Chain A
Amino acid sequence: DTGVSQNPRHKITKRGQNVTFRCDPISEHNRLYWYRQTLGQGPEFLTYFQNEAQLEKSRLLSDRFSAERPKGSFSTLEIQRTEQGDSAMYLCASSQAGGGFTEKLFFGSGTQLSVL
């Protein structure tokens, strides 16, 4: 399977703990995105990388959130001092630059975070 891979699929943590999620994009894709989805809602944009450069961060991404893509391949999303409001599905997507504004995003299956 050469799709977008996310790990872990599920994470349960206690409030105040730090968590880290990993995303492996489709290998030839140089763009990588993080979205957050809460129950019954559509995904919301969090941040975007082109190669290793983080080019945009949503205002939804508080100071407790940090995303990295150190070698332009896989990416990590860390949440520090988790709060119950952080409970959501965290989706990663990737695309190949050059498709113009019709560039298609391919999503992974997400990491479901539950903060107790």
Chain B
Amino acid sequence: GESVGLHLPTLSVQEGDNSIINCAYSNSASDYFIWYKQESGKGPQFIIDIRSNMDKRQGQRVTVLLNKTVKHLSLQIAATQPGDSAVYFCAEKSGGSNYKLTFGKGTLLTVNP
């Protein structure tokens, strides 16, 4: 079946550097994408979302880029901090579903002080 996946399982960066986490999706009907952050022992926490009619959206220190041509999504974190260390998941909704999220496998981000 169609699914959402991630290119890299782990990413290690130095504090203060920018981080880029990538995600590939295969469902061309996907129309809404979300990035979640999950810290150890906690549930996923919403970071930022983007609709398929956009190619970029910015939040506080985070930017999501969407390339529908190659079905690729990325999360950029500026000036990465130790508190950003977590597993990051991309998730998608498709086909008009307004409730079912399909998650990728996740990328573990480690920020070194």
The answer, yes or no, to whether B96 is at the interface (CB within 8 Å) is: yes
Known A102-B51, A107-B43; contact A43-B93, beta-carbon cutoff 8 A = no
Q: How far is the CA of A33 from the CA of B32 in the complex (A)?
A: 18
Contacting residues, chain B, for A110 (C-beta < 8 A): 42-43
A42-77 Cβ-contact flags toward B at 8 Å (1 or 0): 111100100000001000000000000000000000
- What are 21 A-B interface contacts by the 8 Å CB criterion? A33-B99, A35-B101, A42-B91, A42-B103, A43-B44, A43-B101, A45-B100, A45-B102, A56-B99, A56-B100, A91-B43, A91-B44, A95-B99, A99-B98, A101-B31, A101-B98, A102-B49, A103-B99, A106-B46, A109-B41, A110-B43
Question: Which B residues contact A (CB, under 8 angstroms)?
Answer: 4, 31-32, 34, 36, 41-46, 49, 51, 89, 91, 93, 96-106
